[in-house]
């Protein structure tokens, strides 16, 4: 397991609370290296990436969980994705000609989408953002979509990002709050976590420093890593959807068809023979797709 790229679940047994802690080091560097993001936008993207891993550790699914923020301001799109296997990727788009700082605005909408191909199931929840409160948007997602009180802390600093999530343990009849003060107490303790602690301390040391009287019990960490799901096959499917005429026009103008993945910057190049092969026979296309 990479020392700084992991998701670790834990219990606070005395408080009746469970949670997850995420830290990203190399994974975050790999994502950030794909584009020269302004510093405020890089911080937003890093924290959103950590949130996608936290959500993947809190929701049972097999497939991909993606987070998207869309806005009409300088920040156009913020996207992060985590698979059930711990593969992460993300990107951001912004108005490079704007002097405004790319940030979540009052009009920003959070979309959390869970794709489970094995079950042919796709679920999506839309949450209106309130100000520039990233953690608050995810807390409202759990409260509205899962009916589960949640506290989340997200940080990005010094080339690393991290996140901590807390939720009360649910019993068969709903939320179990045996100690009526426990939920508020652990929320206050969470708020005392320092950014430097979040990105540098081991998970065990951080959790015991914050919650040493709550009966901390940690489980085996799950490794996380940068991973892109683009492929030549997906590129070819996208080009078939675009059609022969557009592909041949690109060939005439540039001598090749080149498609670059925005997540990993890998470029797929097709020459005239490749393009001719794509349209040599009628191939059924299910619908629009992308290289990603």
Mean of per-residue pLDDT scores for the chain: 87
Among candidate residues 106, 102, 101, 99, the one with its CA nearest the CA of residue 91: 102
Q: Which two tokens stand for residue 117?
A: 């191909």
Q: Is 98 found in the same domain as 30?
A: yes
184 and 237 together in one domain: no
Alpha-carbon span 74 to 237, nearest angstrom: 32
Per-residue model confidence as pLDDT tens digits over 51-69:
999 999 988 888 999 999 9
Residue 285 in any domain: the answer is: no
Report yes or no on 210 lying in a domain.
yes
pTM here?
A: 0.85
**What CATH number does the domain containing 147 carry?**
3.55.30.10
Checking if the pLDDT of 21 tops 90, the result is yes
Residues 214 and 269 in one domain: no
Asked whether residue 288 is assigned to any structural domain, the reply reads no
Residues 140 and 271 in one domain: no
Q: Do residue 94 and residue 183 come from a single domain?
A: yes
In a domain, 216, yes or no: yes
Domain membership of residue 188 as a residue range:
6-226
Q: How confident is the model at residue 126 (pLDDT cuts 50, 70, 90)?
A: very high
CATH of the domain at 258: 3.90.1280.10
pLDDT in tens, 154-164: 999 999 999 99
CA 33 to chain centre: 16
| C-alpha closest to that of 176 among 3, 11, 287, 2 | 11
State the distance between the two ends of the chain, measured CA to CA, in whole angstroms.
27
**Does residue 217 share a domain with residue 106?**
yes
Mean pLDDT in residue range 7-25: 94
String of DSSP letters for 74-111:
SEEEEEEEEETTSEEEEEEEE-TT--S-----TT-EEE
Please give the tally of structural domains in the chain: 2
Residue 255 falls inside a structural domain: yes
Q: What's the pLDDT tens digit per position in 162-217? A: 999 999 987 644 444 556 788 999 999 999 999 999 999 999 999 999 999 999 99
Q: 214 and 112: one domain?
A: yes
Q: Are residues 261 and 201 in the same domain?
A: no
263: Cβ–Cβ under 8 A, 6 or more apart, which residues? 34, 89, 90, 91, 228, 230, 292
Say yes or no: 193 and 249 in one domain. Answer: no
112, 242: one domain: no
Q: Which pair of structure tokens corresponds to residue 280?
A: 């040599």
Inside any domain, residue 286: no
Phi/psi for 55 (5° steps) reads -65, -40
pLDDT for res 1: 37
Residue 190 lies in a domain: yes
Return the pLDDT at 292: 53
Predicted confidence at residue 177, as pLDDT, reads: 53
Give yes or no: residues 219 and 251 share one domain.
Answer: no
Q: Both 38 and 69 in a single domain? A: yes
What pLDDT is attached to residue 265?
Answer: 83
Residue 292 lies in a domain: no
What CA–CA distances, in Å, run from 201 to 17, 205, 209, 214? 21, 6, 10, 19
159: left (phi over 0), alpha (psi -120 to 50) or beta: left
């Amino acid at each position: 397991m990479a020392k700084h790229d992991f998701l670790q679940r834990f219990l606070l047994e005395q408080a009746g609370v469970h949670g997850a802690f995420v830290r990203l080091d190399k994974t975050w560097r790999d994502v950030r290296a794909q584009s020269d993001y302004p510093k405020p936008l890089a911080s937003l993207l890093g924290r959103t990436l950590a949130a996608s891993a936290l959500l993947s550790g809190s929701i049972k699914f097999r497939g991909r969980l993606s987070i998207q923020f869309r806005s009409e301001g300088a920040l156009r799109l913020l996207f992060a994705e985590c698979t059930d296997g711990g593969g992460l990727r993300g990107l951001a788009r912004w108005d490079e000609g704007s002097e405004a700082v790319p940030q979540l605005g009052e009009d920003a909408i959070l979309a959390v989408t869970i794709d489970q191909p094995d079950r042919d199931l796709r679920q999506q929840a839309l949450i209106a953002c309130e100000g520039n409160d990233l953690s608050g948007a995810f807390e409202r997602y759990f409260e509205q979509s899962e009916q589960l009180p949640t506290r989340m802390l997200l940080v990005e600093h010094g080339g690393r990002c991290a996140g901590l999530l807390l939720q009360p343990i649910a019993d068969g009849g709903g939320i179990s709050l045996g100690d009526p003060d426990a939920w508020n107490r652990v929320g206050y303790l969470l708020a005392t976590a320092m950014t430097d602690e979040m990105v540098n301390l081991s998970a065990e040391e951080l959790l015991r420093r914050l919650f040493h009287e709550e009966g901390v019990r940690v489980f085996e960490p799950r490794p996380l890593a940068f991973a892109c799901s683009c492929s030549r096959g997906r590129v070819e499917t996208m080009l078939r959807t675009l059609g022969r005429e557009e592909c041949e026009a690109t060939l005439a103008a540039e001598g090749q068809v080149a498609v670059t993945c925005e997540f990993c910057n890998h470029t797929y190049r097709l020459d005239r023979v490749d393009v001719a092969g794509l349209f040599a026979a009628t191939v059924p296309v299910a619908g629009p797709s992308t290289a990603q």
